[in-house]
Chains A and B, each alone.
Chain A
Amino acid sequence: MFSRRHLLQVGGAAALVSSTSLPSLAAGKELRIALVVKALGIGFFDACHEGGEQAAKQLGNVKVIYTGPTKTTAEEQIAVIESLIAQKVDAMAISANDTNALVPVCKKAMARGIKVISFDSGIAPAGRILQINPSNNTLIGAKCVQMIAKTLNYQGEIAILSATAQATNQNIWIGKMKEELKKPAYAKMKLVATVYGDDVADKSYREMQGLIKAHPNLKGVIAPTTVGIVAAAKAVVDAKLTGKIFVSGLGLPSEMKAAVASGATDTFAIWNPIDLGYTAIMVAAQIAEGKTTGKPGSVLHCGRMGDLKVTPNATVAMANPYTFDKSNIDKFAKIF
């Protein structure tokens, strides 16, 4: 009785599975590309998957295998990759749970002719052909300035609310913002202060209150941190200064919904996971088909994302951060 029940279960699983996977085996020249994420059930990666399917639809000959472990551990992700090697997929695009721990298994995959690229969270260079970064520092810095400039009609005092004073990426972005501000278009804008909220909500809130008091002519604040931007927008709302001071920067749509609704934030940006998944599948398909090696210097044709060039250290910067405002925040707030 026990064994029969088990048989039924296995049989049931078999029926469930074969109906979805068998068509792929029937088609001849179809490319099977695995989109391996840190863990299943994460909104950000489900959005990447949606983008991947868009790319597959556009290319026509690609089947996306969306997979990943249950827990965000390297060991489980390695087991998933092992099973993909056994299935002899054509390519894998991986967001890694561990930069280094995936190198041995990915080397093995590449030794067997499977093209491995990483996206979002990278694998160490020895374990992949290239890494797709959602953006790059210059684009992020420029985007932050462009957004607030547009809102303020290219004039007025602005300030920056950062995370910690030691945060490497924040400091690079601030440097790039200052470079962007030197352009003639921003001649009527003035950066009056840079303060640090340490990525702690209440410290960021108090720093924002301080900025409002110290600079009565302040018109805009750039917070290139997902914690800081939420706190700054809240401080503006609480001080009843919506419409007089605008907060922009980098934030998550789900956390920024209230800020946009209140008017404290006109636009903000972050990498778009749908575009990221789209680009990952586009790039993996090209390399798997042998249209390009993906080596440094080669140019990748990525459909609606345009042509991307592989940098000397084998990375690709996808695009400008994606802008969110009243028109699209409701849709994306549900995703991430």
Chain B
Amino acid sequence: MSVIVDAPKASPKAKPVWARFMRWETLLALLCVVMMVGNSLLSPYFLDFGNLSDATANFSEQAIIALAMALLIIARDIDLSVASVIAVCSLAMGLLAAQGFGTPVLMVAALALGLACGMFNGWLVTKFALPSIVVTIGTMSLFRGLADIVLGDKALTHYPPLLQAIGQNYVASWLPIPVSFAVFLILALVFAFVLHATPFGRRLYAMGNNPVAARFSGIPVNRIRFILFALTGLMSGLAAILLTGRIGSTRPNIATGWELSVITMAILGGVSISGGSGTIGGVVLAVLLLGFTQFGLSLVNVPEIVINILQGVMLIVAIGVPLLLQRLRGRR
């Protein structure tokens, strides 16, 4: 077993990669500072604890999924079905709530169904050796289609007060931040620990850098991939609980387009789309950068389409700059 743990360390590339990542996070942190200062100058309403705290509710659900997505992308996989999993989980909660079940049952059901959807993805990917992008494009339509068929143009809107409180309330009166943001922060710590301080985390980097070598060094590659898909599904189920509670309504188009926002958070956070590198710290910074940029610009009523363009540019730069640097370094 010690061979496996040591494998990534033995790689000669390990040090420069790590060094580069320190710089990426520094850059993100600087951008965050620039963004905070810029937004404060733009609008007198930005630098207000209550407003900033409330704004986190708009992106925390996506951010929770981004944590799991980061691990998945580091290990060279991707899951495009996350938003559709939210739709299915929210649908299940709505149907159960209509039958009179209480909040605990709804929460367990959403988590279990999310987990099951993730396991289904993982099973297809590992059992049949299919590319994850293809499988999850398929399940994206499949899960969303289920919600479409069951709901049609109707909506499920009767949810118990406790569930709505979880989605809409603060943690406590002395800690006025949304429950979803607190959940995100706690999970970020857990994910950071798992990724950066356990053998499991190091195996992900090994798999991302060289899956074949990882398999030959005894890493149970497929089992780990299965676990990562299941984990992503579970996080989508959790996001479904928070989102459904927040808006108190389930329609088939719930969370449409979220998969791309989630992936953007991970990539901008420095997770390499070709796998093998990225940190949770970077993802957290990217979440804050994207979320507060959006909030700040919408405070001065910049049309969302312009904000989307800005975010798109940020993403292209995030992917392009490291590649350019690498190429320049190679030439030298």
Contact = CB atoms under 8 A, between A and B. Distances in A.
A70 B251 contact: no
Interface stretch (A4-12, A141-149, A164-172, A262-270): A4-12
A65 B45 CA distance: 16
A21 B300 contact: yes
B125 interface: no
Given A6-B314, A17-B42, A83 B299 contact: yes
B68 interface: no
A25 B54 CA distance: 23
A87 B58 contact: no
User: Would you list the 10 A-B pairs with minimal beta carbon distance, nearest first?
Assistant: A101-B249, A83-B298, A101-B247, A100-B157, A86-B51, A100-B249, A70-B304, A79-B58, A17-B300, A10-B38
A76 B304 contact: yes
A235 interface: no
B57 A14 contact: no
Contact of B43 (A40, A78, A87): A87
A9 B42 contact: no
B149 interface: no
Contacts of A78: 58, 246-247
Interface in A1-56: 2-3, 5-7, 9-11, 13-14, 17-18, 21, 25, 40-41
B254 interface: yes
B317 interface: yes
A79 B255 contact: no
Interface in A83-123: 83, 85-88, 98-104, 108
B304 A2 contact: no
Interface of A: 2-3, 5-7, 9-11, 13-14, 17-18, 21, 25, 40-41, 65, 67, 69-71, 73-76, 78-80, 82-83, 85-88, 98-104, 108
B48 A86 contact: yes
A171 B255 CA distance: 35
Summarize A's interface: helix, strand, loop or mixed.
helix
Nearest to A85: B54
Interface string B264-295: 00000000000000000000000000000011
Contacts of A85: 54
Contacts of A104: 164, 167-168, 246-248
B252 to A, nearest CB: 11
Nearest to B318: A2
A40 B304 contact: yes
B44 A25 contact: yes
A164 to B, nearest CB: 15
A40 B303 contact: yes
A11 B298 contact: no
A3 B30 contact: yes
A75 B45 contact: no
12 contacts: A2-B317, A3-B30, A41-B305, A73-B253, A74-B251, A75-B255, A79-B294, A82-B295, A86-B55, A98-B247, A101-B248, A104-B164
Nearest to A103: B248
A249 to B, nearest CB: 24
A80 B155 CA distance: 22
Given A13-B310, A71-B256, A104-B164, A83 B317 contact: no
B155 A86 contact: no
A330 B135 CA distance: 50
Contacts of B57: 82
B243 A75 contact: yes
Nearest to A21: B300
Contacts, number: 121
Contacts of A79: 58, 294, 298
Contacts of B317: 2, 5-6
**Size class of the contact patch on chain B:** 35 or more
Contacts of A5: 317
Contacts of A3: 27, 30-31, 34
Contacts of B299: 83, 86-87
B248 A100 contact: yes
B309 to A, nearest CB: 10
A3 B71 CA distance: 27
Nearest to B159: A100
A317 B35 CA distance: 45
Contact of B27 (A2, A18, A25): A2
Interface string B231-253: 00000000000010011110101
Contacts of A21: 43, 300-301
Given A6-B314, A73-B257, A99-B157, 19 more contacts: A3-B27, A9-B310, A11-B38, A13-B297, A17-B302, A21-B43, A41-B305, A67-B301, A73-B254, A74-B249, A76-B304, A86-B295, A98-B247, A98-B251, A99-B155, A100-B155, A100-B248, A102-B247, A104-B248
Given A14-B38, A73-B256, A100-B157, A83 B295 contact: yes
Nearest to B248: A104
B152 to A, nearest CB: 15
A80 B294 CA distance: 10
Nearest to B313: A9
Nearest to B294: A79
A109 to B, nearest CB: 11
A41 to B, nearest CB: 8
B58 A82 contact: yes
A70 B45 contact: no
A284 to B, nearest CB: 17
B254 A75 contact: yes
A71 B256 CA distance: 9
A29 B179 CA distance: 37
